[in-house]
Amino acid sequence: MKKALLLLTGLLAVAFVSTPAAHADPGVHVGPGTAYTTNPDVDGFCTIAAVGNDDAGRLVALTIGHCHQQAGTPIYKIGEADRGPIGWETDIWSTNPAGTFHAVDYAVLELNPAVVAPSRYGEGSDVVVNSVGDAEPWNIACKYGPTTGKTCGALAAFAGIHLQNWALMGPGDSGGPLVVGDKLVGISAGLDAAPEAPFIYGKIGPILADIDAQQSFGAGFSPVR
């Protein structure tokens, strides 16, 4: 009996060693240009501008305010909704009255670090966000969005809280990144009929200042490295 028990133990040990190691789930890639929705069963989506950490160490993302539903609403990545929510909407957001561009337009999303693989790199694009800051007049800036891809143009109007550009955007691109090199300078906001440049982007400086003033989600935002 003792001999049989030793033999069985040895066989189990061999079987254990021979079993291939399970690969850890790499997580859901989320970065500049990631499309997300609050309702996977309905057509339509918005876009993330950048992923980073705030002063409290929380993993957060910046997007557009006119896509915001309600604090605590789960968000899902387009194409990977079956993997569950990647995070939630927060109560840190601002948007424009319908048909206007009078206010800063942004929202802060809280991401779930147990699910998300945060990235500074866009998906299907060479857009990278390594820093945030102001642009200069006539900089060539590029936006990225899931609908129209990467488009670039010279920055025209600089007055107030917005930038204007000829970088084409379409439905669903709202919230996406506008970069000069690898610096995030704005968030895709919408279309205006202004002759100098029809596409409107929220300046990142006023957006971050508004977020910082609330001392909550997103305050002290720094892009992931």
Q: What is the mean pLDDT of the chain?
A: 89
Helix (H, G, I), strand (E, B) or coil at 18: helix
Does residue 211 have a pLDDT over 50? yes
The rounded distance, in Å, linking the Cα atoms of 145 and 131 is 19
CATH architecture of 28-123+207-223: Beta Barrel (2.40)
Residues 115-136: tens digit of each pLDDT: 999 999 998 899 999 999 999 9
Residue 194's pLDDT is 63
The amino acid occupying position 130 is N
Helix (H, G, I), strand (E, B) or coil at 204: helix
Domain ranges of the chain: 28-123+207-223, 131-203
The amino acid occupying position 106 is Y
Strand order through the sheet with 87-94:
46-47, 35-37, 74-77, 87-94, 106-111, 59-63, 50-53, 222-223
Q: Are strands 28-30 and 116-118 parallel, antiparallel or unpaired?
A: parallel
The rounded distance, in Å, linking the Cα atoms of 154 and 166 is 7
Residue 200's pLDDT is 93
Least confident interval from 17-21, 50-54, 112-116: 17-21
Task: Write down the residue that tokens 């891809």 correspond to.
Answer: 149
Say whether pTM exceeds 0.85: yes
Residue 20's pLDDT is 47
The rounded distance, in Å, linking the Cα atoms of 12 and 64 is 56
Least confident interval from 70-74, 147-151, 163-167: 163-167
Fold match, 28-123+207-223 / 131-203: yes
Residues 29-59: tens digit of each pLDDT: 999 999 999 999 999 999 999 999 999 999 9
DSSP one-letter code for 21: P
CATH architecture of 131-203: Beta Barrel (2.40)
Q: What is the mean pLDDT of residues 156-163?
A: 85
**Residue 176, class by beta-carbon neighbours within 10 Å (0-12 exposed, 13-18 middle, 19+ buried)?**
buried
